[in-house]
Structure 1
Amino acid sequence: MIISKNWLNEWIDLSSVSADEILKTLNSIGLEVDGCTKVKIPEKIVIGYVKSKEKHPDADKLNICMVDVGSDSLQIVCGAKNVEAGQFVAVALNGAVMPDGMQIKRAKLRGIESNGMICSSTELGLAKTNDGIMVLDESIGRLELGKELNEYDIFNDVIIEVDITANRGDANSIHGIARELSVALDLPIKERLAYVDGENLPGIGRILSLHTHEKVKSLHMFRAFELMQNPSENLVTKLRLALIECSETHPMRRLCEYATHSTGVIFRMYDFAKISTDEKISIDISVGTHQESILKVDDKILGVAGVYQNKDTMIDESSKLILLEASYADPSVVSEYVGENKDIVKTNELYRSTRSSEPNLALGIDPIFERLSSQNIAKFYAGHQLSATKTEVKTISFTITDINKMIGQDVPKIEIVRILKKLGFDVAFTQESENINVKVPNYRYDIINIHDVCEEIVRIVGIDNIASAPMKFSESNRINDTLKRYKFALNLRKKAAAVGFYESVHYVFDSSDELRKLGFKECKTSIINPINNELNELRPTLVNHLLKSCEKNSKNQKKSIKLFEYGEVFDENANQSMRFGFVVSGLKFEPSLNNGTKVAQVDFMGFASMIQGIVGEFSLVPSSEMGYLSPFEQAKIIKNGDEIGYIGRVSIDVASERDLSKTYVSEIYFDRLANTNIQAQAYSKFPSISRDLSLIIPKDMKFKTIKDSINSLGLNVQFAPSDIYSSDELGDNVSLSIKFTFQDMQKTLEDEEVACLMDKILAKLKDDLNIGIR
């Protein structure tokens, strides 16, 4: 965005503000300055008046001019095509040093003496306004012969390039920048009197009618005029259009681009004759699929608001009756429409619309008609028509405490209100309450919530004016149930690896055929696009994958296989849960020099001990629910009274089918495991005493029955079976040896005390189970 101090002065009085202060202020309020150039015409360049012009006798392209510079008349040879008698021009006197370093001296050009030089804009270090000399007019101020050009504000200016971010379309104009500076510098915006058509002029309704859909999200203002001749441009306008690199050639389009850069309002001009042959046209504004506003006359599309204009309706040099439209389109609507139509040509109108143009349409349209009226070159149609649904006003509520907490510093309520009002917010509050309600101005499309309001206050107060505060490092507690379960599962996986298991990972999908053979129920939720026929169902168990991996390891000459997996399983209703699966197969250890070549096979007790080393102490209850397990070696795993899984040997049929040797599996229901801290318990410092007891019991009696009977005594004793013996002499009975360990917390037990305890145990077994010693 190119601005100049002189141009800004049309909207705000900056005569007492230095260029450095303007730059500093712009940066402080969030309008980053990308570059700054100071325009200063060198000394000894004055205003002259061309009294006469004659052709050079020896050069077709040179003219001999007599130029009045106030104190003298100078003969100057000039090669510009546009030099004419009666012009006020910029004259570089002898001794002047031009911006490019060239010094002006008396010289002879083809034998004719020349005293000075008539200058073009580029020779003075200004933007190019034309292909010849720069002709002066009173738009720069009152012309006085001999007066130096650097005494005029337009030639003693500051050109500033401001980087406008995409969310600040409101600052993408001279008026927008002036509006920002007026708040930061506490200077008033100059009042602009609206141009009013004469009361006796014909109304626009005679040639135009307008029909608008109720859901239109755009604003439109139409004005009509008959152009008798093209408008002329004064020097200041030419310099400013050259400064912003205006590429338009039609005078009316150049005038509109000047007004757009100055006010931010977007314009279009329609050739009335190209729209319709009727004396009156009817414009219909409807809503498209993306809420865009489409302008039509009959079936002919004039354009889409904020996006493009139909080229067939644009004015040209022959246009007479012109319909001028000022418009505003919702930026979100325009952006969505352009996003769906990638082939739309990027124009200045589209650039401004997507960033939000100026919605106060009269602000831009009135100066155009004022310029045409002052030159008396157009006949106007009185009045205008405005179409669109009323734009919704955003209201934001907050408290002073909320704002100051965000800022990190207390800003007085009266100062907050003053800043917001200067920025155009409609503020409602009471002195007694901290609550403030603000209505966002319609040109601030980017203000959405309290954080945006806070940003506005901070940038006007000035970030440098907010005291620094030390950063507080206060880490919040991130420990939650999810983290605890994750850490618990990770700990169990580490324990599994520590006791010799290798972790494996499989898909959550499994083979329905293999699962049916193992006796698992089918999941009611089917997979629409299975990976393949072998992975066509959500797995209800980890066992099948583990057995298949076990089979592959076995075929790769592994003699001792120990695998585990932690993963998801799904029941028949597709309810998800987490499980640990374990499998051991073959030998207890791989044969080696250390282990020997004759290693025993895995067994139930050894496998159960490994699982217990992972999940903690548990008890087993005989079971026969799992059809793929041996009915003689399977059990439910009970911990703290809850069933947490099962363990057992794979049946001989299943093992043979999969070419597996002796194999055991276990599944632990992870969701049923309690993640509790281990409580340290006191232990006895006194020696223990052991006793062995051999009992004659029936072959069909379970050790659990004996265990329950002994535990009912409530003795502080540990016991476990150590041997079992059977013979023909015993018949239907067996001899079960049980090892008892006695230990007291307070003292060393005497033999008599241990003997008394053993007698109690024998008496209890005799009374409850009718069994005794061998």
Structure 2
Amino acid sequence: MIISKNWLNELIDLSTFSTDELVKTLNSIGFEVDGFKEIRVPDNIVVGYVRSRQKHPDADKLSVCEVDIGSENLQIVCGAKNVEAGQFVPVALIGAVMPNGLEIKKAKLRGVESCGMICSSTELGLAKINDGIMVLDESIGSLELGKKIADFECFNDAIIEIDITANRGDANSINGIARELAAKLDLNLKENTPYEDAENLPGIGRIVSLHADENVQSSVVYKALQIHENLSENLLTKLRLAVVECDKTCVIERLLEYVTYTTGVLLRAYDYDKIATNDKVLFSIKSGKNKECEIYADSQNLGVAGVYQDKICKVDENSKIVIVAASYTDPNIIAEFVGENKNIQKDAELYRATRGSEPNLNYAMDYLFKKLATSKQVSLYAGAQQYLAKKEPKMLNITLAEINKMIGYEVARSEIVRILKKLGFAVVFNQELESINIKVPLFRHDIINSHDICEEIVRLVGIDNIPSSPMKFSEENRLNDTYKRYKFALDLRKKSASAGFFESVHYVFDSADELKILGFTPCKAQIANPINNELNELRPTLINHLLSSAEKNIKNQKRSAKLFEYGAVFSQNGDQSSRFGFIHAGLLKEPSLANGVKIAEVDFLSFANSIKSVIGDFNLSKSDEIAYLSPFEQAKIYKNGVEIGYIGRLHTKFEDLRDLPKTYICEIYFDALNYEPIKAVPYSKFPSISRDLSLIVPNDMEFRLIKEAINELKIPTLKEFLPVDIYRSNELGKNVSLSVKFTFQDMNSSLTDDEVAVLMDKILTQLNEKLSVSIR
């Protein structure tokens, strides 16, 4: 956005502040200055009056002018097409040095002497306003012949270009920037008196009436004016519109652009003659699909407020009666409407509307009509037709303690109140609660919560004025159950890979036909649009996919398929849970020159040890419930007394069906596992002693009974005992010889043979009494 110090001075007195101070202030309150330049018209350029203009005798494009500068009349040869007698013009006298370095000297042009130069705006270092000389008028001040141009305030200006962030639509006008500077510099905005209709003016109700639906959320105000002759704009308006690069050509539209740029209110102009029916215009405003405000004249759609205007109703240089419309629509509504209508042409009005325009519509109307009130080219209509949507301002409450905690610095209560009031907030302080009730003005749609209020205070106090404090490198513990479960699963996956399993990943969908063969009941939650017939049901197990992957590996010349998967499964009712699945088919490992070519097949014990290296120690309980496992080699897995899965060999009929060699599978219910951190335990520095014991036990006795009987003794030095051999013979009949290896170790001393012998006798006595088991 481009602003000028002189333009700002109309709304706030900045005469005591230099350009450098303004630039620094704007940067400090969040409006980054991209660049600035100071305008200074050179000396020896004065106000002149063209008394006569004659055509040059030897040049068609030159004119010979007699110019009065007060102290004398000068003859000046001018090449501008628009120079005429009766004009006040800027005259560069002999000796003047122009901004481009040109020095004015007495010269002869085609034989005619010229004593000076009538200047254009660009020759004075100003923005271009036309293709000829700059004609002066009293909009810049009182015109006195011979007065230096440099003495006029508008020619001693500073042009500043600033960045306005998208959320600060309220600052996208001269009025908005003036309000910000007033808050920072503790100044008051100049009083804005409302325009009062003069007596005997025709009422607008004669030519305009307005109807609005009750659900319309936009505000509109209509006023009217009549143009008696060709309307022209004054020099000051031309210069300022040139600075802000206004590209409109119609005088009415340029005038409205000037008012909008000053006030921030969106203005549109309608040609009365193009939309009137029976000498009157009936405006109606309706709420559109996205709550946008649609404008109608009778049944003719004239556009959407703040978005676009139909070309058929626009004003031009021939317009006689003009209806001026000011409007305000919530920028969120505008953005939603534009988002669904990509073909809308973008212009300055739409840019302002999407970022938030000024909602005080009468402010712009008063400014416009006071500007036109003294013009003889325009007659004004009294009154207005308006519809103002009812929108309650947002209310926020925040305590002083909260403000100071967020800022990290204690700002005085009076300073907080002053800043907020200067910015347009209504503030009520609660002495008892030490809190502030804040009413957010409608033009600050970006203020949502107390954090935004603190940002406004910091912005105006100045971040440089808040003392720094050391950063505290402390943070709340963000670890939660979800993260811990994720890390636990990741750890198990790493352990699985370390145990020689390769990870596989499959869809959560599975084949209903294959699951039925394995004996699974279909899930009640059906897939409405399955990927294909092989993935048409939510999987209740990881095993079927693992079997398919192992089958493909074996058919691709792999001798050992060792896979695992971690993923989601679904119960019959559609409840989701997580599981780990393992499979080992074929040999214990792939044959190679390093490990030889004769490798044993996988067996239950080796497979169970692989699972143990992943999940830790566990207990097994005999089972025959799982139909797709061998009834002779399957078990349920328990850990800390909780069932966490199952393990076993795939039934031979399914091995044959899948063309698989000897295959073992395991499925762990991950949700039943608990993370057990590794704990350091003391170890003995003394040697251990081992003893083997051969027992005569019934052939059908489970080792579990022997283990339970021995554990009842609670021998502290007994570290472990494991079966190491089973011997069967006809001599033993229905009994077998079971060899068990016992390992003893003491924490405090070396055990003697006699001490171990006593313990072995104690164990034998327990087995004999409890299970009738004797030594061989």
Partner residue in 2 for 1:479: 479
Q: For each residue in 1:89-122, what CA deviation from the matched residue of structure 2 results, as whole angstroms up to 9, or x when unmatched?
A: 2111111112222221111222222211222222
Query: Would the alpha carbon gap of residues 199 and 707 (structure 1) be closer, same or farther in structure 2, given more than 3 Å must change?
Result: same
**Which amino acid letter does the alignment assign opposite residue 509 of structure 1?**
F
Are positions 1:277 and 2:277 aligned together? Answer: yes
**For 2:318, what is the secondary structure of its paired residue?**
coil
- SS of residue paired to 2:286: strand
Contact 1:77 1:109 in 2 (8 A): yes
Residue aligned with 1:61, SS: coil
Give the unaligned 5+ runs of structure 2. none
Find the aligned partners of 1:579 and 1:372 in 2 and give their Cα distance.
80
1:669-684 correspondence runs (5 A): 669-684=669-684
What is the 5 A alignment of 1:563-578?
563-578=563-578
Choose the corresponding residue for 2:727, options 725, 728, 740: 725
Change (3 A) 1:278 1:681: same
For 2:490, the equivalent position in structure 1 comes to 490
Quick one: structure 1 residues 713 and 64, their matched pair in 2 at CA, closer, same or farther if it must change by over 3 Å?
A: closer
Give, in whole Å, the separation in 1 of the partners of 2:554 and 2:216. 74
CA contact (8 A) 1:231 1:375 kept: no
Give the SS at the match of 1:526. Answer: coil
Answer with 714-723 or 214-223: which moved more: 714-723
SS in 1 for 2:695: strand
Q: Which residue of 2 aligns with 1:65?
A: 65
The change in CA–CA distance for 1:74 and 1:588 in structure 2 (over 3 A counts) is: closer
1:488-528, CA deviations, whole angstroms, 9 ceiling, x for partnerless residues? 23333333333333332222222222222222222221222
Structure 1 counterpart of 2:175, one-letter code: H
Cα pair distance change 1:748/1:185, threshold 3 Å: closer
- Superposed CA deviations along residues 423-476 of structure 1, whole A, max 9, x for unmatched, are 111100133432001111222222222222122212211222222223332243
Pairing of 1:433-448 with structure 2 (within 5 A)? 433-448=433-448
The residue identity in structure 2 corresponding to 1:601 is E
Question: Contact conserved, 1:231 with 1:372, CA < 8 A, in 2?
Answer: no
For 1:622 and 1:343, locate their aligned partners in 2 and report how far apart those are by CA, in whole Å: 73
**1:535 has 2:535 as partner:** yes
Contact 1:623 1:635 survives alignment (8 Å): yes
Q: Distance in 2 between matches of 1:753 and 1:92?
A: 125
Are the counterparts in 2 of residues 329 and 353 from structure 1 also a CA contact under 8 Å? yes
TM (norm. structure 2) is 0.94
User: Helix, strand or coil for the counterpart of 1:374?
Assistant: coil
Which has the higher mean CA deviation after the structures are superposed, 406-415 or 272-281?
A: 272-281
How far the C-alpha of 1:750 sits from its partner, in A, is 5.2
Check if 1:739 corresponds to 2:749: no
Q: Which moved more, 1:265-274 or 1:330-339?
A: 265-274
Contact 2:169–2:357 (Cα < 8 Å) also in 1: yes
Residues 123-172 of structure 1: per-residue CA shift (max 9 Å, x gap): 22222233332222222222222222112112222122222222222222
Question: CA contact under 8 A between 2:251 and 2:317: conserved in structure 1?
Answer: no
**Partner of 1:391 in structure 2?**
391
In the alignment, residue 695 of structure 2 is paired with which amino acid?
L
Residue 116 of structure 2 is aligned to residue 116 of structure 1: yes
The CA distance in 2 between the partners of 1:353 and 1:177, in whole Å, is: 17
1:220 corresponding residue in structure 2: 220
User: Does residue 641 of the first structure (1) align with residue 641 of the second (2)?
Assistant: yes
Residues 645 and 279 from structure 1, CA distance in 2 versus in 1: closer, same or farther, beyond 3 angstroms?
same
Aligned pairs for 1:506-585 within 5 A: 506-585=506-585
Give the CA deviation at 1:555.
2.3
Alpha-carbon distance in structure 1 between the residues aligned to 2:249 and 2:497: 81
Say whether residues 1:313 and 2:313 are aligned partners: yes
Superposition pairs for residues 591-602 of structure 1, below 5 Å? 591-602=591-602
Separation in 2, partners of 1:700, 1:157 = 109
2:161 aligns with 161
Distance in 2 of aligned mates of 1:254 and 1:594: 90
Structure 2 CA distance, aligned partners of 1:468 and 1:763?
Answer: 79
Which deviates further from its counterpart, 187-196 or 729-738? 729-738
Secondary structure at 2:232 match in 1: coil
1:331–1:560 Cα change, 3 Å: closer
Residue of structure 2 in register with 1:303 after alignment: 303
Matched, 1:152 2:152: yes
* Within-5 A mapping of 1:172-571: 172-571=172-571
Q: How many residues align?
A: 774
For residues 685-711 of structure 1, give each alpha carbon's deviation from its aligned partner in whole angstroms, at most 9, with x where no partner exists. Answer: 555554444333333232333333343
Structure 1's 633 and 64: CA in aligned 2 closer, same or farther, altered over 3 A?
A: closer
Q: Is the 8 A contact 2:430 2:437 kept in 1?
A: no
- Where does residue 131 of structure 1 map in the other structure? 131
> Matched residues in 2 for 1:686 and 1:64: separation?
124
Change in Cα spacing, 1:687 to 1:238, as seen in structure 2 (3 Å) is: closer
Give the SS at the match of 1:577. strand
* Mapped partners of 1:123, 1:55: distance in 2: 23
Say which is worse superposed, 503-512 or 279-288, in terms of deviation: 503-512
Aligned residues of 1:307 and 1:334 also touching (Cα < 8 A): yes
**Take 1:243 and 1:510, find their aligned partners in 2: how far apart are those partners?**
70
Q: Which whole-Å CA distance do the structure 1 matches of 2:708 and 2:740 have between them?
A: 14
After superposing the two structures, state which structure 1 stretch, 385-394 or 691-700, moved more. 691-700
Change over 3 Å in CA distance of 1:64–1:721 after alignment to 2: closer
The answer (yes or no) to whether the contact 2:106–2:114 under 8 Å persists in 1 is yes
1:80 maps to 80
* Amino acid of the structure 1 residue aligned with 2:738: L
Distance 1:714 1:602 in 2: 35
Stretch moving more, 259-268 or 684-693: 684-693
**Deviations, residues 178-207 of structure 1 (Å, cap 9, x unaligned):** 222222222221113222112433322233
Q: 1:685 and 1:652 mapped to 2: Cα distance?
A: 49
Distance 2:246 2:697 in 1: 111
Structure-2 separation of matches of 1:751 and 1:759: 12
C-alpha distance after superposition, 1:23-61 (max 9, x if no partner): 211121112222212211112111222233333333333
Inter-CA distance 728–388: structure 2 relative to 1 (3 Å threshold): same
CA contact (8 A) 1:283 1:295 kept: yes
TM-score by length of 1: 0.95
Residues 66 and 376 (structure 1 numbering): CA distance in 2 closer, same or farther, change over 3 Å? closer
Which shows bigger deviation, 354-363 or 46-55?
46-55
Amino acid at match of 1:511: S
The one-letter amino acid of 2:230's match is N
Distance 1:610 1:66, change over 3 A: closer
Give the counterpart letter for 1:586 in structure 2: G
**1:235–1:723 distance in 2 versus 1, CA, 3 Å:** closer
Secondary structure at 1:458 match in 2:
helix
Give the Cα separation in 2 of the matches to 1:316 and 1:376: 19
- Structure 1 unaligned spans of 5+: none
How far apart are the structure 1 equivalents of 2:77 and 2:579? Answer: 100
Q: Counterparts of 2:181 and 2:400 in 1: how far apart (Å)? A: 25
Aligned with 1:366: secondary structure?
A: helix
* Distance in 2 (alpha carbons) for counterparts of 1:327 and 1:44: 47
Does the 8 A contact of 2:208 with 2:385 survive in 1? no
Q: 1:573, 1:290 → 2: CA distance?
A: 42
Distance 1:759 1:392, change over 3 A: same
CA distance in 1, matches of 2:762, 2:459: 89
Deviates most, 671-680 or 620-629: 671-680
In the alignment, the residues of structure 1 paired with residue 594 and residue 570 of structure 2 have an alpha-carbon distance, to the nearest angstrom, of 43
Asked if 2 retains the 8 angstrom alpha-carbon contact of 1:212 and 1:388, the reply is: no
- Tell me by how many angstroms 1:756 deviates: 4.5
1:290 CA drift (Å): 0.4
